[in-house]
Amino acid sequence: MFDEPEDIHPLFAGAPSTTEFKKLRKRIVRQSREAIEQYGMVERGARWLVCLSGGKDSYTLLAVLHELQWRGLLPVELLACNLDQGQPGFPATVLPEFLERMGVPHRIEYQDTYSIVVDKVPQGRTYCALCSRLRRGNLYRIAREEGCSAVVLGHHRDDILETFFMNLFHGGRLATMPPKLVNEEGDLFVYRPLAHVAESDCEKFATAMNYPIIPCDLCGSQDGLQRQQVKQILDQWEKNAPGRRQVMFRALMNARPSHLLDPKLFDFQDLALQPGKKDENSDQIPHLR
């Protein structure tokens, strides 16, 4: 698998033949497939709206999903979609030309949400929160118009970790981007198949494939200092203890409600003693928790 020259989807055409790249590609495809299966994303015969921004993450998402579909491992129909929000300098021809060249079914939508954001956001504040809400609303609309049951996003493992710590530090809650959720209207799924994939792998992959990357800061606004600060903290932790990001990510998959403080998740009020219950390790010295 992945080793023969003809054994490849057009999105992987021209891929490096190095062992290092083959391992990277296999890892990303495997991790994406695991997330799709683990979180029950596949409904046979469904149609997915695959959101393409032109960044490294969304190119990786597009390539992986088409790879899985091409191999018969993803029995859904894929429709790539780019929402041109009217940011100054946005290269409007890059994605349509790329998708046409790759033979990828797509829809390009123009909605000038940039003007709305500039008008509504006070000077000195970042545009990202409002811009994101307007983008999501338009993507939901497009998904409905196209008969799609799911909106598929390119958020990766590091996005999920950063969001968790932003909620922890600034929102006072334990929450992050889930790999699968239902929108507020209850009529669309939102999927994140790259949930297990590291950002560094997306970057290496998109760079090696020489995809035409479109920067995310065309509007001149960055995602505040909060996310950048969290990213710097995680980078420093990773530098001090390589692999820490993955350990923290595994923790998000191993929650113990009885060892947290939320009475809505665990019934502390009715927690009762069980005098007759004997722990198999009761003769050992107990571990303090």
Any domain includes 141:
yes
Out of 33-37, 138-142, 187-191, 213-217, which region has the weakest mean confidence (pLDDT)? Answer: 213-217
Any domain includes 184:
yes
Any domain includes 80:
yes
Any domain includes 36:
yes
pLDDT band of residue 212 (cuts 50, 70, 90) is very high
Any domain includes 28:
yes
Any domain includes 281:
no
* Interatomic CA distance for residues 190 and 203, integer angstroms: 23
* Interatomic CA distance for residues 164 and 252, integer angstroms: 9
Task: Give mean pLDDT, residues 171-181.
Answer: 96
The closest of 126, 197, 216 to 159, measured between CA atoms, is 197
- Contact predicate 266/258, CB 8 Å: yes
Q: What percent of the chain has pLDDT over 90?
A: 69
Summarised one tens digit per residue, pLDDT across range 215-260 is 876 555 555 578 888 999 999 999 999 999 999 999 999 999 999 9
pLDDT at 7 over 80: no
pLDDT band of residue 46 (cuts 50, 70, 90) is very high
pLDDT at 78: 97
Identify the domain containing residue 64 by its residue range. 10-255
pLDDT band of residue 273 (cuts 50, 70, 90) is very high
Tally of CA atoms within 13 A in the half-sphere of 187 that contains its CB: 11
- Number of helices (H), then strands (E), belonging to the chain: the values are 9, 6
pLDDT band of residue 123 (cuts 50, 70, 90) is confident
The closest of 181, 179, 175 to 163, measured between CA atoms, is 175
* Interatomic CA distance for residues 287 and 164, integer angstroms: 29
Give the DSSP H or E segment for 110. Answer: strand 106-110
Most confident listed range (29-43, 100-114, 119-133) = 29-43
Give the DSSP H or E segment for 51. Answer: strand 47-51
Residue 216: helix, strand or coil by DSSP? coil
pLDDT at 289 over 60: no
Any domain includes 74:
yes
The closest of 230, 103, 92 to 171, measured between CA atoms, is 230
Average pLDDT for the chain: 89
Task: Give mean pLDDT, residues 199-212.
Answer: 95
pLDDT at 6: 54
Any domain includes 288:
no
pLDDT band of residue 1 (cuts 50, 70, 90) is very low
How many structural domains compose the chain? 1
Q: What is the CATH number of the domain that holds 54?
A: 3.40.50.620
